[in-house]
Amino acid sequence: MSDLLAEVDEVMRQERFEKFIKDYGKIVLAFILSVIIITGAISGYKTWNNSVNASGTDQLLTLLDSKDFPDSIKDADLKMRPPLRGIGLITAAGAFVAEGKTNEAITLYKRVIDDKSIPNIFRDLAVLMYIRLGENDDVQIALMRIQNNKKSPWRYHAHLEAASLYANKDQDFEKASMHLNKIQDAENLPETLYDTARALNQVYALKQQNKIQQEKVK
């Protein structure tokens, strides 16, 4: 009896399977093909991505090691991924600064700033360096964006640059102090940043007093 029941159950299973295949076979086949295609596409993309990254890295290292560096990067067609391009341009700009070639450095920092495909972490750094070289009229909005971005690693450095701009360009020591206080009130920042903010705050406080006294004399 048990053998008969088992045989009937097997027949039932086979009939259900055949019915399932008849009703849903095309959908199952399409799903399986989709999985195979997607898996192949992902594998192909990873291979291509690794190849592109490798070739871009090789190009960047070659340019950095060139005897013509940093001109090698300034004059090169940087056919590499945006992050690598940002690293190359910023590194070359820093080398130009060290050589006293400010105009060349400014040009490269501006290239980074204007290239929106480069990640913001590099573009924001370029903004700060650009300002330190005395160019600020066309990046004020970018500076404010960095200050307001809580995720930016350069946020408080942007406050420091803003303080310098207000103090040196506008002689507005109160606004400069406001930006420095944001640094001093923040937590877990590099100690050198705190020290710089405190030192500048003292300097600007003295300059504010002198400004007030001069205004009284007038």
Burial zone of 194 (CB within 10 Å; 0-12 exposed, 13-18 middle, 19+ buried) = middle
pLDDT one-digit tens code per residue, 91-138 = 899 899 989 999 999 999 999 999 999 999 899 999 988 888 876 667
134: its two tokens: 């005395």
pLDDT one-digit tens code per residue, 122-131 = 999 999 888 8
Asked, as a colleague might, if the bond just before 70 is cis with ω within 30 of 0, I would say yes
More confident site: 26 or 143: 143
User: Is-contact 123 153, C-beta < 8 A?
Assistant: no
More confident site: 69 or 44: 69
Closest CA to 155 of 195, 119, 182: 182
User: Is-contact 197 160, C-beta < 8 A?
Assistant: yes
Whether the predicted model's global pTM rises above the 0.75 cut = no
More confident site: 25 or 86: 86
The confidence band for 139, taking pLDDT boundaries of 50, 70 and 90, is: confident
- Biggest distance spanned by C-alpha atoms of the chain: 118
The confidence band for 1, taking pLDDT boundaries of 50, 70 and 90, is: very low
User: Is-contact 91 108, C-beta < 8 A?
Assistant: no
* pLDDT over 60 at 10, yes or no: no
Measured between alpha carbons, how far is residue 193 from residues 83, 150, 157, 159, 167 in Å?
Answer: 26, 17, 8, 11, 18
The confidence band for 50, taking pLDDT boundaries of 50, 70 and 90, is: low
101 SS3 class: coil
Closest CA to 109 of 172, 124, 119: 124
pLDDT one-digit tens code per residue, 152-185 = 889 999 999 899 888 888 788 889 999 999 999 9
pLDDT one-digit tens code per residue, 180-200 = 999 999 999 889 999 999 999
* pLDDT over 50 at 37, yes or no: no
The confidence band for 65, taking pLDDT boundaries of 50, 70 and 90, is: confident
